[in-house]
Structure 1
């Protein structure tokens, strides 16, 4: 822990020493500077390093101000490394981007103001903008990318920890769900058996063929069975805490799909049941609307049998609730090593009297139904059937011990990780194309400005020929371009002696040489030539 606390100050101290080296080498008296400038530069860099963690943009702004005080072109050998380093740190440590963009715009505007105020050529402002883009903006974008990449790595570890917690929670929920299923099985089987015991004991209690002692023993047996049933209900309530409340729904023991359909018909629903398979392909439809027999060619696994029962029960419940009066078709098809259960309610005119629901539902809906089918190793699909109706279809394997199909929906952690990766890719793309776009835009602006400047110093050949030696002529004469060149081109011959000054103008718009030279003496044109 102590080493971690010392790490930050030691890094800052080393950074200060590194940034102070160019100041010591380039601002000493041997390079035209002074020890006072060296002292000021070292102190300013120390203060900027000290505040670079809490106020990175302020540190960058101070270094930029010191560089602009040295030259309007911004790039100085003494502070160039500091510009790059603090630009990177601003991108790495600053969360918001608007303040940084405002700072970059302010630097460009301040540089233009300094150029206009000092009277230096405007071309130096383009040098400032180029230095700003390459020495500050590009490192800043690199720091932004590194920051986003580090965030991605940190998010990955957080998601890994969250996934571990979610897996533990899922395992715990699975255990609770299994306990609830066991509780339901206990209630269905033991409750049914205890009810039969109590019923038989009650019959013995009133049987006149038995004596008083036997009737009294039968009564005690009936009361004990009732008490056992009550205790069983309490235990089931504990085991099924957080799931279904005991007593909200009781499925009769041994109830089949045919029983569920008959119970729905008794409540007023129009249900047609079709059973096809190895043992029931040749049957015909009778009054009950059932084709074939319910017999199976082989033993159906208990999980599959209960899942098929739940599919039909839940689908009929939903049909009675959401499409009252519409006919419902239930189809059981056994073949290919699987049992296919289909329940559909096509579009039809509703019955004159809306039927009631076939019974209370389990409350879990299609979500719980999907879980039940998945645990049985099958697949569940539901949705509109394309003809305006709704269909529920489950394919259940008949092989014992079939594994459940894992859900295919991507977890939230995966989506968040993909989103973080996309953000990092976008940040990397911005770190590449934004500097390129800035350099390209700057080059186009400089090209346009150069062409405009050249057009202002271009002397037409006819105008040049019309000029006569001895004509009164001044530098601002109307026959001359408004802006002569700053000086003679490289390799031009020496100016004639006795001249007050010589003016140079472009002879072509794009080429730098040759140029026209006009020499003035006493306000008159004393000589002209094509040089370069």
Structure 2
């Protein structure tokens, strides 16, 4: 609870500091922003900071909207810092990629549509808005995204390291369990057999006619002791084996035909075809023989467990240098084969076939299940085990891909911003050159000339685009419209002023504009 209180306090302190920083420029007079807008922005930015953690996109849109209200070029110094910081926090706190770009595209589209209806706006102003938006919104947002992606990559790396450490412990436990299983198998196959032979010999000695009473008594005690040792061995084997693993009941030299015969005798409907054992065929190596046996054994066990009553087909054949084992069970009479197995048997089977140099393929087939193995007849090198990307690896790859994407964005966006800025500069220079009224033409204009004939010789743009420039002097009394044109492309003032009344030129002079 104390830690939570400290966290909340630190967040409030950070938000308060952020609010003070982004509202500080509002105290500096800005000729481009009205005073009422600056006053209203102080509490509005405070609310924006409060919601910036839960709604960072909305918070980033607020200073942009205020900046547009102050200047269509989005270059108001009063809201520039707020726009940059909140755009950075948007990238730092939100993983959304499309929404910020859609917001920027919507602002650009709306202002482009407003340019023709705004009297003082020109296309060059929109190009400046586009360049300023890229520099003050998109670039800080990309910087925030990069910071967030880097932090996520570092965190994912530490999580992966922690998982690898835990997996190392699990692998150690698994190795110990496998070793216990090997010990149990050795004890059952060797000691159990020897104890059984001792008990058998003791029983024969106990009934031998040439043994006296004391010898029979000793032989009986030996037989009882051997039987007790066998029972103790069975208990020890149960402890050493892995949980759920049964002792190997079949002899080590058991064959596939005898295995299939026992399954058929137990009531399993199985059809068996053996093309590996005819005279003249290449004999299997011990490793391949045991692998073939294990494939058939595991497939029959799964068929009996998950599709009871279903017909099973076991086929052994040789294709080239490979022994092919195919075990297919049909759908169970009551429905499709069950999928309730934990899969450990198939995992072990894959490993057994791989160590024999072969491959194993399992798949559902017609409501049933098919197990197919290809095992070299002669001993071959173990195949490479399949590698499956874990969850942590996928997360790490995803984080790296996001970082690469952010880096790419951080490269092309500045290039695009530079191109747009250069385009705006070129367009601005071109519009200035098209707003210059030639001095000779100005002198040729006469008071009383028709407006239509005068307009044919006038430049395409005025001093500030197609609209009336700011801070112009009052029009002469009685005039309907006045237009202002540059006298020089590098300076907007002094300017030529032409005024029209009732469709005729009624006034012409040179005026000074407040730049």
Answer yes or no: is 1:24 the counterpart of 2:27. Answer: yes
Distance 1:525 1:444, change over 3 A: same
Deviations 1:284-308 (A, max 9, x none): xxx78689xx9xxxxxxxxxxxxx7
Question: Is contact 2:317-2:324 (8 Å) kept?
Answer: yes
SS at 2:375 equivalent: strand
Distance 1:155 1:121, change over 3 A: same
TM-score by length of 1: 0.63
Distance 1:169 1:488, change over 3 A: closer
Question: Is contact 1:458-1:481 (8 Å) kept?
Answer: no
Number of aligned residues: 428
Distance 1:130 1:268 in 2: 78
Aligned counterpart for 1:433 among listed residues 404, 412, 424 = 412
Aligned counterpart for 1:390 among listed residues 367, 374, 377 = 374
Question: Is contact 1:344-1:392 (8 Å) kept?
Answer: yes
Pairing of 1:140-159 with structure 2 (within 5 A):
140-159=141-160
- Using the TM superposition, give the Cα deviation of residue 198 of structure 1 relative to its aligned residue in structure 2, in angstroms: 1.6
Distance 1:32 1:119 in 2: 17
RMSD: 5.2
SS at 1:245 equivalent: coil
Question: Is contact 1:381-1:393 (8 Å) kept?
Answer: no
Answer yes or no: is 1:315 the counterpart of 2:292. Answer: yes
Distance 1:345 1:405 in 2: 16
Aligned to 2:188: 187
Pairing of 1:290-369 with structure 2 (within 5 A):
309-318=286-295, 324=314, 326-328=316-318, 344-345=323-324, 367-368=347-348
Distance 1:94 1:364, change over 3 A: closer
Distance 1:444 1:16 in 2: 35
Question: Is contact 2:357-2:383 (8 Å) kept?
Answer: no
Aligned to 2:84: 84
Aligned to 2:330: none
Distance 1:389 1:95, change over 3 A: closer
Answer yes or no: is 1:485 the counterpart of 2:486. Answer: no
Distance 2:427 2:157 in 1: 48
- Using the TM superposition, give the Cα deviation of residue 237 of structure 1 relative to its aligned residue in structure 2, in angstroms: 1.9
Question: Is contact 1:271-1:328 (8 Å) kept?
Answer: yes
SS at 1:79 equivalent: helix
SS at 1:146 equivalent: helix
SS at 1:78 equivalent: helix
Distance 2:97 2:406 in 1: 12
Aligned to 1:475: 451
Question: Is contact 1:269-1:327 (8 Å) kept?
Answer: yes
Aligned to 2:69: 69
Answer yes or no: is 1:246 the counterpart of 2:247. Answer: yes
Distance 1:189 1:261 in 2: 23
Deviations 1:392-420 (A, max 9, x none): 378699xxxxxx99968375244542332
Question: Is contact 1:88-1:140 (8 Å) kept?
Answer: yes
Distance 1:46 1:228, change over 3 A: same
Distance 2:416 2:406 in 1: 15
Distance 1:46 1:290 in 2: 86
**Bigger RCO of structures 1 and 2 (CA < 8 A, at least 6 apart):** 2
- Using the TM superposition, give the Cα deviation of residue 238 of structure 1 relative to its aligned residue in structure 2, in angstroms: 2.5
Distance 2:506 2:40 in 1: 54
Answer yes or no: is 1:233 the counterpart of 2:213. Answer: no
- Using the TM superposition, give the Cα deviation of residue 200 of structure 1 relative to its aligned residue in structure 2, in angstroms: 0.9
Aligned to 2:387: 409
Distance 2:378 2:348 in 1: 13
Pairing of 1:164-183 with structure 2 (within 5 A):
164-183=165-184
Answer yes or no: is 1:422 the counterpart of 2:406. Answer: no
Distance 1:520 1:24 in 2: 40
Deviations 1:32-69 (A, max 9, x none): 98987655444333333333222222222221222222
Structure 2: state its 5+ residue gaps: 262-271, 300-311, 327-342, 362-371, 466-478, 509-515
Answer yes or no: is 1:15 the counterpart of 2:18. Answer: yes
- Using the TM superposition, give the Cα deviation of residue 425 of structure 1 relative to its aligned residue in structure 2, in angstroms: 0.6
Distance 2:74 2:464 in 1: 28
